[in-house]
Amino acid sequence: MSDPRPIEVVTGNDGRSVRAPELRPRRNHLASRLGHAVSFLGPNVGVVVGFILIVFVGTIVSDVFLSWTNIRNVFLQSAMLGVVALGSTFVILTGGIDLSVGSLLSLCSVVAAMMFANGDGYPLPIVILATLALGSLVGAINGFLIVWRQVAPFIVTLAMMGIALGAALTIADGKPIGGIEGTYAWIGAGRLFNQIPVPVVIMAVSFVIGAIMLRYTPYGRAVYAIGGNEQAARLSGIPVNRVKILTYTFSGFCAALGAIIFSARVTVGDPWAGRGLELDAIAAVVIGGTSLFGGIGSVWGTFLGTLIIIIVNNLLNLMNVSPYSQGIAKGLIILIAIALYRRRSE
């Protein structure tokens, strides 16, 4: 309800400037920074509660759940899905969707394995750079097609999903390509300080960089603004098309990064590596509290969303539930999450 508005008291009436104030010298209040983070860009309360709940349940149903080995295992299993879901978070924040990441991951894993060729092919740094470049390029093509004729992201990335899978199967002749060893295999199996698996380090660094991009760069702001109201963003001088292309490029880059993690861990490139992964990534994003309409959400939500999905699988394994039935649990969790978030937002 509005207050009675005293008409007599108005601003700008006394000759004071109403224009943009001069920039003040830098002031670094920790409190104001924290306030900013908590009020907007942190993970939403629902996913934190959900995460705590699942950990609680895990502790009850299994006594090995909280063991260091199992925790490490959970994080290791989260790494590939995590980085892919990170890219999807950006896309979904702009109000888009990327269905091609699973197939693109498959394609990248095959290409990486072929280029590496038992260590007889290209040197590892070249293999990694080329794989990341391939993922980024395919993502950029997605973005370009989406902004060029304003085609729905769903359609463009659905088509790309088919193309990437077909390319992967063609190149690999439908079979896994083995022979990943040496330093490449260390990326999958090695441990930093003898404790922390390298894929987990890659995931952690990716999320920190992703969080910085969203929170501290004009690009990140543009992502939120476009998802919140594309037309208003455009009229505020945001280069909407450029930001969208960049976002799909990043999503492709993340899929390629996921491919490197995958191939290093299982020591093969597999044209079926990313089967269904795009939906798991979207699930992780949505469970993490990011709105499918865009504009609302955070990478930390996605991080917890990824962990929730992996922990549920982990628990079902620990409880000897058949892998065939595990999809049911995942589906139910998505439904519960959506129902809870909808209720909260009303």
Partner 1 sequence: MAEQVNILELRDIDKSFGGTHALRSVTVTIRPGEVHAIVGENGAGKSTLMKILCGAYRPDHGTIVLNRAPVQISGPQQAIGLGIGIVHQTFTLVPELSVAENIFLGRLPRTPSGLVDWNRLYQDADAVLQRLELDLDVRRPVRLLGAAGRQVTEIARAVSLDAKILILDEPTAVLGQNEVEKLFSVIRGLKAQGVTILYISHRLAEIFTIADRATVLKDGQFVGTYDIDGSIDRTFLVGKMVGREWIDYFPERTRDHGDERLRVEGLTREPIFEDITFSLKAGEIVGLAGLVGSGRTKLCKALFGAAPYDRGAIFVDGQQIRVRSPREALDSGIAYLSEDRHHEGVVLALPISMNITLPVLDRFAPRGLLNLSRESQFVDDLMTRVDVRSRGRGQTVGTLSGGNQQKVALAKWLATQAQVFLLDEPTVGIDIGAKAEIYQLVAALAREGAACLVVSSDIPEILSLSTRILVMRKGRITGELDPESATEEDVLHLAV
Contact code string over 176-215 relative to partner 1, x by CB under 8 A: ------------------------------------x--x
Using the minimum distance from each CB to partner 1, give the nearer residue, 95 or 271: 95
CB of 234 to partner 1, least distance (A): 6
- CA–CA distance, 29 with 200 (Å, rounded to integer): 32
List 179, 221, 318, 340, residue binding partner 1 (CB under 8 A)? 221
User: At its nearest, how many Å lie between partner 1 and the CB of residue 23?
Assistant: 6
User: Which stretch, 22-30, 136-144, 157-165, 328-336, contacts partner 1 (CB under 8 A)?
Assistant: 22-30
For tokens 């077909």, name the residue. Answer: 166
Q: Is 197 helix (H, G, I), strand (E, B) or coil?
A: strand
Minimum Å distance from CB 249 to partner 1? 17
User: Which residues, numbered 226-265, are part of the site for partner 1 (CB under 8 A)?
Assistant: 227-229, 231-239
Task: Locate 5 and state its tokens.
Answer: 């508005």
End-to-end alpha carbon distance in the chain? 19
Q: Does 341 sit near partner 1 (CB under 8 A)?
A: no
What is the closest distance, in whole angstroms, from the C-beta atom of residue 281 to partner 1 in the complex?
Answer: 22
Is the distance from CB of 134 to CB of 256 less than 8 angstroms?
Answer: yes
For residue 300, give the nearest of 57, 71, 44, 20 by alpha carbon: 44
- The span of 17-25, 187-195, 202-210, 328-336 binding partner 1 (CB under 8 A) equals 17-25
CA distances from 27 to 23, 24, 31, 199, 308 (A): 11, 8, 11, 38, 38
29 lies in the site for partner 1, by CB under 8 A: yes
Residue 125 touching partner 1 (CB under 8 A): no
Query: How far is 142 from 139, CA to CA, in rounded Å?
Result: 5
Name the segment binding partner 1 (CB under 8 A); options: 216-224, 250-258, 266-274, 304-312: 216-224
**Interaction pattern, residues 34-63, with partner 1; x per rule: CB under 8 A:** -xx--xx-----------------------
Q: Is 330 helix (H, G, I), strand (E, B) or coil?
A: helix
**Contact criterion met (CB below 8 Å) for 297 and 224:** no
| Cβ–Cβ under 8 Å, residues 312 and 54 | yes
192: part of which helix (H) or strand (E)? strand 191-192
Min dist CB 204 to partner 1, Å, is 20
With binding defined as CB under 8 A, does residue 296 bind partner 1? yes
* Cβ distance to partner 1 smaller for residue 176 or 239: 239
**Which residue's CB is nearer to partner 1, number 29 or number 63?**
29
Does position 150 interact with partner 1 (CB under 8 A)? The reply is no
Among the residues of the chain, which ranges form H helices? 30-36, 45-61, 68-93, 101-116, 124-148, 153-172, 182-189, 198-216, 218-228, 230-235, 240-266, 277-287, 299-318, 323-345
Footprint on this chain of partner 1 (rule: CB under 8 A)? 1-8, 10-13, 15-21, 23-24, 26-29, 32-33, 35-36, 39-40, 212, 215-218, 221-222, 224-225, 227-229, 231-239, 291, 295-296
